Amino acid sequence: MNSKFKLCAIAATLALLIYSPLDAAPKKGGAPKLVPFKGRFVGTADSVDNSTTDPNTGATTTTTTVSVEGGGNGTHLGKYTLEATETTTSTTDAGGVTTEETTSSLVFVAANGDEVWATFSGESETAPDGDVDSELTATITGGTGRFATSTGYFTLVLTTDPDTGKTTGSYNGKISGPGKGN
């Protein structure tokens, strides 16, 4: 190989390196790729209220726990079960001042046992037909198995018949790509 040819080969290699779109390649430590996360479910809702009054202060504490259990089919989960719980604790002191605290958790369990965990908040209202319509915003906080380091978000829309507890709904959002290094 002559030196002129070697020089041309080196120049061509350098030109490729300089003008290649290297920033199109994934970067280590960058944000995870988000993929669609959606599905439908059917379940049963149950609500439990407990109230107590402190005899010393006169403060009344009411705890309301709403639980939903069900299942369905969704992207990345396949057939799954779902368990969601929202607990609201309201305390009204003797002066009539009320404070409120709400905690929530949601767990999807795929057929193979892998889990996706989320927290949520949102609003519900009673429709003219008596059903309770809810729209919740959820944040994915992790999971197990292929979802161990998952992040993401979704909107959960559901309708509950308060007489029977029957709940139907759907969710739609994004999750970091399931699998190794998601």
CATH architecture of 33-176: Beta Barrel (2.40)
Residue with the larger pLDDT of the pair 1 and 81: 81
pLDDT(167) > 50: yes
Q: What is the pLDDT of residue 159?
A: 95
Predicted TM-score of the model (pTM): 0.75
Alpha helices in 22-179 (DSSP H): none
Q: pLDDT (tens digit, 9 = 90+) per residue, 109-134?
A: 999 999 999 999 988 899 999 999 99
End-to-end Cα, the chain, rounded Å: 47
3-state secondary structure (DSSP) of residue 148: coil
Token output for 82: 């779902």
Mean pLDDT on 57-85 = 94
Average pLDDT score, the chain? 83
Q: What is the pLDDT of residue 140?
A: 96
Q: pLDDT (tens digit, 9 = 90+) per residue, 25-66?
A: 344 556 678 999 999 999 999 999 999 999 999 899 999 999
Burial class (CB within 10 angstroms; exposed 0-12, middle 13-18, buried 19+) of 126: exposed
Contacts with 179 (C-beta within 8 Å, 6 or more apart), sequence order: 146
Measured torsion, CA atoms of residues 24, 29, 33, 37, in degrees rounded to the nearest 10: 180
Q: pLDDT (tens digit, 9 = 90+) per residue, 135-164?
A: 999 999 999 999 999 999 999 999 999 999
30: amino acid identity, one letter: G
pLDDT(11) > 50: no
pLDDT(168) > 70: yes
Residue with the larger pLDDT of the pair 8 and 105: 105
Beta partners for residue 105, in sequence order: 85
Q: What is the pLDDT of residue 67?
A: 94
| C-beta of residue 132 within 8 angstroms of C-beta of residue 160 | yes
CA distance linking residue 105 with residue 38, whole number of Å: 18
Q: Where are the domains positioned within the chain? A: 33-176
